[in-house]
C-alpha cells in the first residue's frame, strides 16, 4: 500500500505524488525503498541490473525517490552509493510476510532471469512439491469458475475419479490443498494437490450449492484465544514471541482451516492443557469456540463432546 499524502521538499510546494506515477516506475521506486529499508544501501547499478534500464533512467528514479522521500537517503561520496538516513520512513508499506519472502527469494513478481535472496536465509525443506501442470489447470478453473474432472488418490479410497468445483488454494504449512465442492461426495472438501492426476476443465454448469458462498465451513469465522501453555516456566517469553496482548493472542480463522492452524502451531487443544512435550508452547483457552468445526481430528489434544462422553462411559 502506498502513502497518499504528497511529499514535500523543505517548505516548498508539494511535488509529484505516488498515485500520479506510472506502475512501471512505481515498481522501481518500491525496489529502491525496500533495499534501503532492509539492506541500508542503493546504487544505480542495483536498479540497472534488476530492471535492465539505462544508467540515466536509474539516476532519474533515484532523483524522483529523493523528491518523494527527501529524508530517506544520504549520499556516500567514497562508496558512491546512497545509504539509509537516520530519519528514514518507508515510502511503501510492507507486511512481515512480504518482507521475509523478498529477503529469502528476491524482490518483485516477475519471472525474468534468476532471482536470488538479498541475505542468507535457511528455509525448511519442501518435501511436497505440486506439479505445475496440475496446478495450472486448478488455478485456471478457479479463476474461470469452472469444474474439473480429476483422478484422485486418498488414503481411505485409493484412486478414484471425481468432479470438483475448486474455489481457493490453501497452504496448511506442510502442503498445498485446493478446496472445492466434491460432486462425488456431495460436500465441500480439501484435496491435496500432489494427489490429483490428469485434471481436465469441464464446461458443466456450476450450481449455487457448489459455490464458495455455500461453503459454511469456509465462510464461518472462528475466534481463537491462544495463551502460553500453563506448564511453561517463563510464559512471558511466549507472550513476546507472538506479540500477545495481556497474555492472549486473538486469532480469527476460517473454520475450514482451523485444524491446520492449530496443528501447525502445536496448540494444545485439550480441555485441561494435558499435552506434554517441548513442542507445546501454546494452549487454546476457549476450546468451546471449536464447536461445529469439522477438521479437528488433526488439532492436538482435541476431543469432541461426543468423544468425551464416550470415554467417560468406558471408564
Confidence class of residue 284 from pLDDT cuts 50, 70 and 90? Answer: very high
Q: Which domains does the chain have, with CATH numbers?
A: 18-105 (1.10.10), 132-216 (2.30.30), 220-314 (no CATH)
Q: What is the pLDDT of residues 47-63, one digit of tens each?
A: 999 899 999 999 999 99
Q: What is the pLDDT of residues 196-225, one digit of tens each?
A: 999 999 999 999 999 999 999 999 999 999
Q: What is the pLDDT of residues 100-146, one digit of tens each?
A: 888 877 765 454 455 567 777 776 777 888 998 999 999 999 999 99
Q: Which three three-digit cell numbers place residue 145?
A: 469458475
Confidence class of residue 6 from pLDDT cuts 50, 70 and 90? Answer: very low
Confidence class of residue 15 from pLDDT cuts 50, 70 and 90? Answer: low
Q: Which three three-digit cell numbers place residue 140?
A: 485456471
- What is the value of pTM for the model shown? 0.75
Instruction: Please list the residues that pair with 227 across neighbouring strands.
Output: 283
Q: Provide Rg for the chain, Cα atoms.
A: 25
Say yes or no to pLDDT of 11 above 50.
Answer: no
Amino acid at each position: 500500500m502506498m502513502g497518499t499524502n504528497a511529499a514535500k521538499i523543505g517548505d516548498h510546494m508539494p511535488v509529484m505524488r505516488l498515485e500520479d506515477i506510472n506502475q512501471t516506475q512505481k515498481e522501481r521506486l518500491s525496489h529502491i525503498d525496500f533495499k534501503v529499508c532492509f539492506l541500508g544501501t542503493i546504487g544505480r547499478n542495483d536498479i540497472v541490473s534488476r530492471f535492465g534500464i539505462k544508467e540515466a533512467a536509474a539516476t532519474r528514479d533515484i532523483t524522483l525517490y529523493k523528491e518523494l522521500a527527501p529524508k530517506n537517503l544520504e549520499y556516500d561520496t567514497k562508496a558512491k552509493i546512497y545509504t539509509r538516513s537516520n530519519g528514514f520512513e518507508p515510502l511503501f508499506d510492507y507486511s512481515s510476510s512480504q518482507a521475509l519472502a523478498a529477503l529469502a527469494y528476491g524482490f518483485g513478481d516477475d519471472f525474468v532471469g534468476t532471482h536470488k535472496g538479498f541475505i542468507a536465509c535457511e528455509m525448511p525443506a519442501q518435501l511436497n512439491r505440486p506439479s505445475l501442470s496440475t496446478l495450472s489447470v486448478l488455478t485456471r478453473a478457479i479463476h474461470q469458475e469452472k469444474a474439473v474432472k480429476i483422478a484422485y488418490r486418498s488414503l481411505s479410497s485409493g484412486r478414484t475419479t471425481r468432479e470438483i468445483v475448486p474455489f481457493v488454494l490453501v497452504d496448511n504449512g506442510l502442503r498445498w490443498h485446493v478446496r472445492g465442492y466434491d460432486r462425488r461426495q456431495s460436500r465441500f472438501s480439501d484435496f491435496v494437490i500432489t494427489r490429483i492426476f490428469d485434471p481436465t476443465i469441464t464446461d458443466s454448469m456450476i450450481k449455487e450449492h457448489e459455490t464458495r458462498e455455500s461453503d459454511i465451513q469456509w465462510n464461518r469465522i472462528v475466534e481463537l484465544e491462544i495463551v502460553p501453555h500453563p506448564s511453561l516456566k517463563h510464559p512471558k517469553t511466549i507472550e513476546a514471541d507472538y506479540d500477545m496482548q495481556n497474555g492472549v493472542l486473538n486469532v480469527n480463522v476460517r473454520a475450514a482451516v482451523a485444524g491446520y492452524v492449530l496443528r501447525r502451531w502445536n496448540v494444545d487443544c485439550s480441555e485441561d492443557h494435558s499435552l506434554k512435550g517441548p513442542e507445546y508452547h501454546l494452549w487454546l483457552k476457549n476450546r468451546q469456540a471449536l464447536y461445529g468445526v469439522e477438521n479437528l481430528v488433526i488439532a492436538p489434544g482435541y476431543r469432541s463432546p461426543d468423544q468425551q462422553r464416550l470415554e467417560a462411559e468406558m471408564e
